């Protein structure tokens, strides 16, 4: 291993052999996309981590919660998970999202509501933190440079134990930001093979995009593999049966717009 990578503190992960983590986010009741991603995972995955929003928008909330539980995925709480347990929190959602939350609440089993209501907001990795929106708040968006800079600066200050890496979701757009040794913040262009290498001197914000409602303009389900030993993050895109997901949205009489956006990847 190159010397500069040794300072990333991953001993705890390695001791319990958690080396390769599949990181998923924003599955949003899309069982077709979720199953396609799970099938795509290679054999050598030590953990599957979900950055929140198992439910909302699409038509298979129980199936998604049950698959998450069956595969032993580590899940943290998203704003839609929270609203599905307590629909008053959906009052500020847009009309499509709110309608879907009310439908989800009506259709979720009590056991699955209980599962969602018990999720934690953050998950700590030895080299970083996993959150839904931002480390401070599940509803925050990290989209613009000033938002990325604010979070990276807090990480560098060490307020949270000097995090090197923050895994986040919520925007549904795959993205990587870095802060170099001089404190300069910039997005990282994701190469064609999807793989970026992390440098121990830098701080990172990493978003796998969305499994169940991608908004990159590409309808494929999006996730990444975080290799804590090789210090690489490999973004992946997976095709799934969009037509089946759309049919379920229409059969459930959920807003038509939610079906169209799956086709467009928006």
**Which residues of this chain interact with Zn ion, rule CB under 5 A?**
26, 53
- Tell me which long-range contacts 217-221 makes (C-beta under 8 A, separation of at least 24): 217/264, 217/265, 217/266, 218/265, 219/262, 219/263, 219/264, 219/265, 220/265, 221/30, 221/33, 221/34, 221/36, 221/37
Cβ closer to Zn ion: 32 or 53?
53
- Which C-beta is closer to Zn ion: that of 35 or that of 171? 171
Nearest distance, CB of residue 53 and Zn ion, angstroms: 4
| 228 touches 10 (CB < 8 A) | yes
Q: Which is nearer to Zn ion, 27 or 179 (CB)?
A: 27
Report d(CA 83, CA 88) in Å as an integer.
Answer: 7
E strand or H helix that includes residue 76: none
Please state the closest distance from residue 179 (CB atom) to Zn ion, in A: 25
Is the Cβ of residue 203 or residue 235 nearer to Zn ion in the bound state?
235
Question: 3-class DSSP state for residue 85?
Answer: helix
Phi, psi of 237 (to 5 degrees): -125, 135
Q: How far is the CB of 85 from Zn ion (least distance, A)?
A: 15
Least distance (Å) from Zn ion to the CB of residue 36?
18
- Of the two residues 13 and 37, which places its CB atom closer to Zn ion in the complex? 37
Which helix (H) or strand (E) segment holds residue 147: the answer is: helix 145-157
Closer by beta carbon to Zn ion, 56 or else 128? 56
* Shortest CB 261 distance to Zn ion, Å: 12
Residue 250 to residue 259: CA distance in whole angstroms: 7
CB of 56 to Zn ion, least distance (A): 7
């Amino acid at each position: 291993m190159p010397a500069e990578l040794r300072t990333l503190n991953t001993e705890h992960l390695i001791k319990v052999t958690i080396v390769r983590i599949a990181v998923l986010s924003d599955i949003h009741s899309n069982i077709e996309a979720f199953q396609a991603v799970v099938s795509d995972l290679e054999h050598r995955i030590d953990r599957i981590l979900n950055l929140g929003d198992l439910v909302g928008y699409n038509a298979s909330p129980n199936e998604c919660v049950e698959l998450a539980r069956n595969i032993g995925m580590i899940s943290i709480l998203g704003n839609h998970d929270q609203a599905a347990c307590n629909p008053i929190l959906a009052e500020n959602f847009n009309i499509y999202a709110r309608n879907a939350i009310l439908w989800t609440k009506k259709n979720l089993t009590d056991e699955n509501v209980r599962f969602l209501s018990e999720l934690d907001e953050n998950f700590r990795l030895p080299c970083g933190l996993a959150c839904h929106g931002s480390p401070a708040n599940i509803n925050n968006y990290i989209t613009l440079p000033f938002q990325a800079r604010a979070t990276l600066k807090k990480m560098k200050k060490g307020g949270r134990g000097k995090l090197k890496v923050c895994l986040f979701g919520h925007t549904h757009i795959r993205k990587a930001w870095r802060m170099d040794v001089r404190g300069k913040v910039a997005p990282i262009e994701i190469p064609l093979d999807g793989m970026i290498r992390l440098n121990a001197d830098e701080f990172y914000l990493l978003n796998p995009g969305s499994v169940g409602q991608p908004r990159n303009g590409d309808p494929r389900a999006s996730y990444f593999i975080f290799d804590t030993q090789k210090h690489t993050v490999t973004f992946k895109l997976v095709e799934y049966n969009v037509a089946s997901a759309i049919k379920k949205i229409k059969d459930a009489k959920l807003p038509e717009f939610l079906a169209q956006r799956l086709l467009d990847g928006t």
